[in-house]
Structure 1
């Protein structure tokens, strides 16, 4: 557990987990719902995917989820 949040000192096993966690402090919302004209953004990819299922009323396959969940660069 060597990845430590510089804001709250919470520790993470992976650097990717720390990056996602930092969004809670900064308010960053890099994950956009891919549904046409939805326009909602989320700070955690899994929250976006859960929201997206409200549009489709089913689960999204992981290939589509990975493709549609890349944050904007």
Structure 2
């Protein structure tokens, strides 16, 4: 079971790194598929950011790591 978890985490890491590479490449005028992957990556990032803010909305804000 531990091996499967490591493989899943490695897969997620590869997807995240690939998405970041596509965002940079798209900013420099990459092909259409790169711009699509970059748009999906940005949308996923915004979704995670919004979910994190919503989950933190009524909680204790004394952690001090509010970078917004």
User: What TM-score results when the alignment is normalised by the length of structure 1?
Assistant: 0.27
Q: Which has the higher helix share?
A: 2
Question: Larger Rg: 1 or 2?
Answer: 2
Q: Which has the higher strand share?
A: 1
User: What TM-score results when the alignment is normalised by the length of structure 2?
Assistant: 0.29
